[in-house]
Amino acid sequence: MTAARAFVLPDLGEGLTEAEIVRWLVAEGDVIEVDQPVVEVETAKAMVEVPSPYAGRVATRHAAEGTTLDVGAPLITVAAVESAAGSATEAYREEERAGSGNVLIGYGTTPGSGGAARHRRPRDRRPAAGPPQIPAPRTPPPPVAPAVVAPRVVSPLVRRLARDSGVDLSTLRGTGPGGVITRRDVESATTPVTPTAPAAPTGERRIPLTGFRKTVSAVLTRSRAEIPEATVWVDVDATALWELRERTRHDPSAPGLLAYVARFVVAGLRAYPMLNARVDTERQEIVELDQINLGLAVQTDRGLVVPAVTGAQNLTTTALDAAIRDVTARARRNESTPAELTAGTFTLNNYGAFRVDGSAAIINHPQVAMLGLGRIMDRPWAVGGALTVRKITQLSFVFDHRVCDGGAAAGFMRVVADAMEDPAAAVANL
């Protein structure tokens, strides 16, 4: 191993050309091993940990947290230490020359058991026989300072918001589970108190569009610029669906309401495949897709993301329920993979989770349609000529007018709505 090696920001795949340094996992002077994560970065599609292909001592960190780096820019410089580190690095270089195909995570493994070599201090050698030595008096150790409890911050984005806003996290009391400091805690600390008398303007705070938010902005702007979208609504009597869910609520393995709606959406897309498609503007073609990758809009502390359940057309209602719970839970923990966040062919958006009835949403480009589900609430409803109270929800559907007209959009809506109004018959016929 040479005296020092520079490790650059690697090719992150998925066409990504830059990433933002969110959190360093090592400090200058730390001794690291091959494949040890050294930094957490945020790309336009996901948050990932970057492992080092070199073992040794971290000589230099080339960028501060919050800095955006291009692929190929230096991340750290690693200096040589013991020979064991050199052999581990050479093992990585051999794997790299052999073409392992690893781009970002898991650059290589050390031979043998896979564990890093242990560095042992040499045993003290006894001095040669001679006159007895009088030991020097021992200096008492300095007093130990009391431990400082670090503020509980789970999200690196909350940490960055605090840094950008000049908020000292150690002064905050977290309102999240277990005392975790949340985005709202930081924002509350930066909100000026309304004075009792007129005061001068308090200024402004600028938050740069970087990483994920910059990509979201580009996608939504492109959607509005390219897609001639139209929106339709329908009110649905979901009483039977609600009662079906209530009868099985005691069973933790029973599907939830969203899983049933997802199953009905899949049935609608089978009947109207032009809505599970994309538009090839260069060749002026509508490309219908055989596989239904059902995207689910999920609100996270990074913003709105849309991970997808792939191959939804092959899943039962119970399997759909498990897949939906899995992808949404990992999305909220910022653990979605770039592939999951870009695989969707159609989006289901549960607006009801935010206690709203509907929305004229923006289509998630390059998809061509999105179905929104509003809150389910008690409303007066006419049944058989008599007025009664029913569980009513609103479906709102936005679609690309290039791929179909209103008749097809209405037909798709009725497939979903009719199934929600008579779920037992719908499930039996799927």
With helix as H, strand as E and coil as C, how does 47-90 read? EEEEECCCCEEEEEECCCCCCEEECCCEEEEEECCCHHHHHHHH
153's tokens: 């911050």
Structure-token match 């108190």, residue found: 193
How far apart are the C-alpha atoms of 50 and 62, rounded to whole Å?
Answer: 14
How far apart are the C-alpha atoms of 88 and 176, rounded to whole Å?
Answer: 42
pTM above 0.75, yes or no: no
- Residue 118, burial from CB neighbour count under 10 angstroms (0-12, 13-18, 19+): exposed
The CATH 3.30.559.10 portion of the chain extends over: 212-429
Quick one: CATH architecture of 4-98? Beta Barrel (2.40)
- Whole-number pLDDT of residue 169: 81
* Cα-based distances in Å from 176 to 172, 185, 190: 12, 9, 18
Quick one: CATH architecture of 156-190? Irregular (4.10)
- Whole-number pLDDT of residue 1: 44
Name the nearest CA neighbour of 152 among 122, 172, 130, 125.
172
Name the nearest CA neighbour of 316 among 262, 278, 277.
262
How far apart are the C-alpha atoms of 156 and 94, rounded to whole Å?
Answer: 35
The CATH 4.10.320.10 portion of the chain extends over: 156-190
How far apart are the C-alpha atoms of 371 and 358, rounded to whole Å?
Answer: 10
The CATH 2.40.50.100 portion of the chain extends over: 4-98
**Per-residue pLDDT tens digits of the chain, which is 430 residues long:** 457 899 998 887 666 788 889 899 999 999 999 889 999 888 766 778 888 888 999 999 999 988 888 889 999 999 987 554 455 455 444 444 444 343 444 333 333 444 443 344 444 444 444 555 555 555 555 555 444 455 666 555 577 677 777 888 878 888 877 777 887 788 788 765 444 445 545 788 887 777 667 778 888 888 988 999 999 999 999 999 999 999 988 888 899 999 999 999 999 999 999 999 999 999 999 999 999 999 999 998 878 899 999 999 999 999 999 999 999 999 999 888 888 999 999 999 999 888 999 888 899 999 999 999 999 999 999 999 999 999 999 999 999 999 999 999 999 999 999 999 999 888 877 7
Consecutive H or E run containing 302: none
For 372, residues 6+ apart whose C-beta sits below 8 A from its C-beta are: 349, 350, 351, 358, 359, 361, 395, 396, 397, 398
Other C-beta atoms lying within 10 Å of the C-beta of residue 180: 15
- Whole-number pLDDT of residue 215: 78
Is the sign of the CA dihedral 337, 342, 345, 350 positive or negative? positive
How far apart are the C-alpha atoms of 406 and 231, rounded to whole Å?
Answer: 9
* Cα-based distances in Å from 110 to 39, 52, 117, 142, 182: 21, 13, 9, 40, 39
As assigned by CATH, the class of the 212-429 domain is alpha beta
272's tokens: 């109207």
Catalytically annotated residues: 401
Residue-by-residue DSSP string for 357-409: ----PPP-TT--EEEEE---EEEEEEETTEEEEEEEEEEEEEEETTT--HHHH
